[in-house]
A and B are shown apart, each in its own frame.
Chain A
């Protein structure tokens, strides 16, 4: 983020000729001190300075909508990463769940109140299977969820026959905008974020996630049933992925078997930018939300600046690397 800050502050300082290190130094210090939130604020400030269109209500809500699917996926992945695992399957599971909802409601004529829980159950089940492979099959999480990534995508294609299925109208409301200004995906994101925060901070499974991720052996020797907890953790990740998939399909008004492809990497990036450690034991729902917002602000801002999609990818990669680098530095200086 500080590179963004510097490249942004660079031309400004050169143009204005005042306080060459004032703003840059202040913002990088703010980033170092406040971590992800400081980074988000710095990024928003930079974008607001560079683009007049960035800082208006409508655009900010757009950012929220753009962040919502990634954020919901990332909340689920937070559980896994806090417990020192990884889940690569969430993009596929999201597509599979949405496809199941559309198939059940549109193709099979099931009522929506049955189709949606079915889709959620499929997501949770997919996660449960990954969890079983990790906990009981002793597969590395990377491999187990890589397998689920392929299986989930494949099943979505099988069920849909490879083409999009119209999403049931009643569920499409999840992609709507209330009162012409409040997008429902943002509400869902906030709700799922609160649920994730509650799970992490206040439930048995949540506290067990931190213990398992921090020191699995100590957790086991303290009576935590590590294997069963892992089932729950991956099932939660699958469940959150299903919610994300349904929100995405509602926005597009159709369930596309190829949807959310590659989103797992955005989700992991959001968690890590949000301050969680891939080695486990730390992570927060609020951090993950900020991570998802940073990614969305970056994309939105670069779009407004008419930066090509190719360069956007380069910028996103740099931001991920920098965010984690800064966080590492911050932790090291705090220790």
Chain B
């Protein structure tokens, strides 16, 4: 279980990260991060969403370059003698040459090609004539597939594989590189418990073979089962390095522990307002799992209410189904069962316009990809959700729009050069104000905020919280999805927690502590594939009603 690696003779340092810093516009993603990886070690990288894990591994795989700090790798491209030397990783090819392979959460596979072609993409074995040696490629692919215990033919098109098998193909691809350093970004997030066991077996074999593995997971129980050491990241800093045998409570404390006094200026209403939103039994079936495994629902049996003047936090891990629930409520995606009612009126399924007419608004998780038209003016962005309303006699009242946009931009204190400025050129915090401003102008009564402050600096965060206060003071309801636990606790009047597509609990503001929320969020990982509720969820569920 513990597998502390200090006494393994081959525990030489393979990779060292020293004081690496990386800033993106408006946010410091990494701030002096240190990390050390030994041969034959599983080193867990732990941290909340947004703590900087992804930025760090992207730096090691050549996607980002550090602003400051050093990355050292044993040996080097030209087979330098033993010892760490500083390297510049400018591209994925550089990383590959240094023996660093990364398996991302999003797969990098070409659906139309076969498993073997994907594994050797760009590195296909050649015949003497320079043609691709399909026979050798298939044989080597079959070999790798055996190592990952994946029972598919190398000729299978990747498009025919389920998500767990795709994960295994990615691992086979990484193995084919003979990587000395293997980075795995939440490899278990999409796997069933059996598949996780297989994966762990493979990881242990690699560890025996002296590979150094950086393993990112949100499932704390996996840390003790697989890991050797843990580096905890928080707000872009490496706060501590502890053995994997460290208790879960201590790990949680390291992950989330920070002082939050006046950072969350929530003013809670004295008494609950009128019911606004009522969601009952909301369910969406998942896609079929692999190997005939029953499909895990995307979300199932979701019940909750939101009242006027209330902020309800929706906590949980990435992949728990929170965003999916929000999108279903807002009519972006369809659902298979259940009802959504606003002020007693049932909303049509999959109809954004109906949801908007009922007073709903959604600030999506992906601000740039879904919230803004980046190359359109701020005026166009702010007035987009009320284009119908501003159209009279077939013509859009552009002057009126300008007035409204100027008004709301002033109220939100958007720092801009003018309303004609393109949304792309604003900082993250100001961009988010534009998205929220769009819904203010659309006369939204119930606003769903999905990760409203992700990637936003502290000052702008507080401004957004104050905005939430203004909204609720004016009688709006707010559903706030956030992976930032202190934010959920600091701003919510009630906290709902989801895990694996189900609500696992509800905590009033007074009882919601980070440990309590984390416990609910981490509940039953990989369990109950048949979709039965756990006792807790049944109990808390009744509480919700």
Contact = CB atoms under 8 A, between A and B. Distances in A.
Contact of B373 (A204, A223, A281): A281
A138 interface: no
A6 interface: no
Interface string A215-249: 10111111111000000000000000000000000
B362 A221 contact: yes
Contacts of A218: 369-373, 384
Contacts of A154: none
A282 B375 contact: yes
Contact of A221 (B332, B374, B375, B398): B332
A221 B387 contact: no
A210 B373 CA distance: 9
B373 A207 contact: no
A204 B352 contact: no
Contacts of B372: 215, 218
A214 interface: yes
A147 interface: no
B436 to A, nearest CB: 13
A224 B398 contact: no
A282 B375 CA distance: 8
A12 to B, nearest CB: 39
A214 B352 contact: no
B447 to A, nearest CB: 13
Contacts of A215: 369-370, 372-374
Interface stretch (B304-312, B336-344, B388-396): B388-396
Given A203-B391, A204-B391, A221 B370 contact: yes
Nearest to A220: B352
Interface in B346-403: 352-353, 356, 362, 364, 369-376, 380, 384-385, 387-388, 391, 394-396, 398
B438 interface: yes
A225 B350 CA distance: 12
A211 B332 contact: no
Contacts of B330: 221
A280 to B, nearest CB: 9
B388 to A, nearest CB: 7
B128 to A, nearest CB: 41
A201 interface: yes
Nearest to A277: B375
B212 to A, nearest CB: 39
B396 A221 contact: no
A202 interface: yes
Given A202-B395, A221-B352, A210 B371 contact: no
Contact of B352 (A202, A210, A223): A223
A207 B401 CA distance: 12
Q: Which of A203, A210, A211, A214: most chain B CB closer than 10 A?
A: A214
Instruction: Report the contact-size class of chain B (Cβ under 8 Å from the partner).
Output: 20 to 34
A208 interface: yes
Contacts of B395: 198, 202-203
Majority SS at the chain B contact face: mixed
A220 B385 CA distance: 10
A308 B364 CA distance: 57
A203 B387 CA distance: 9
Contacts of A206: 396
B376 A214 contact: yes
B373 to A, nearest CB: 4
Contact of B398 (A202, A208, A211, A282): A202
A206 B380 CA distance: 12
Nearest to A280: B375
A220 B375 contact: no
Contacts of B387: 204, 207-208, 211, 222-224
Contacts of A219: 373, 384
Contacts of A204: 387-388, 391, 394, 396
A201 B442 CA distance: 21
Contacts of A203: 391, 394-396
B438 A214 contact: no
A255 B239 CA distance: 78
Contacts of B376: 210-211, 214, 281
Given A208-B387, A211-B380, A214-B376, A221 B394 contact: no
Given A218-B370, A221-B352, A281-B375, A207 B332 contact: no
Interface in A287-315: none
Q: Which of B353, B384, B385, B438: most chain A CB closer than 10 A?
A: B384
A217 B370 contact: yes
B182 to A, nearest CB: 34
Contacts of B398: 201-202
Contacts of B371: 218, 221
A82 to B, nearest CB: 11
A218 B353 CA distance: 13
Contacts of A282: 375
A215 B388 CA distance: 18
A204 B388 CA distance: 7
Contacts of B370: 215, 217-218, 221
Contact of A223 (B369, B388, B394, B396): B388
Contacts of A211: 373, 376, 380, 384, 387
Contact of B438 (A202, A222, A281): A222
Nearest to A281: B375
A203 B373 CA distance: 18
A192 to B, nearest CB: 18
Nearest to B401: A207
B497 to A, nearest CB: 25
A205 to B, nearest CB: 9
A208 B390 CA distance: 13
B383 to A, nearest CB: 8
A13 B376 CA distance: 43
B374 A207 contact: no
B431 to A, nearest CB: 12
Given A207-B396, A217-B370, A222 B375 contact: no
Contacts of B442: 223
Given A211-B373, A218-B372, A224 B394 contact: no
A202 B397 CA distance: 7
Q: Which of A207, A208, A211: most chain B CB closer than 10 A?
A: A207
B76 to A, nearest CB: 36
Nearest to A217: B370
A224 B387 CA distance: 8
A258 B352 CA distance: 45
Interface in B90-130: none
Contact of A222 (B369, B385, B391): B385
A154 B433 CA distance: 53
A130 to B, nearest CB: 24
A17 to B, nearest CB: 46
23 contacts: A198-B395, A201-B398, A202-B395, A202-B396, A203-B391, A204-B387, A204-B388, A204-B391, A204-B394, A208-B387, A214-B373, A215-B369, A217-B369, A217-B370, A218-B371, A218-B384, A220-B332, A221-B330, A221-B362, A221-B364, A223-B442, A225-B353, A281-B375
Given A201-B398, A214-B375, A281-B376, 7 more contacts: A202-B395, A210-B380, A214-B373, A217-B369, A218-B373, A222-B384, A282-B375
6 smallest beta-carbon distances between A and B, as pairs: A214-B373, A222-B384, A222-B385, A223-B356, A204-B391, A215-B373
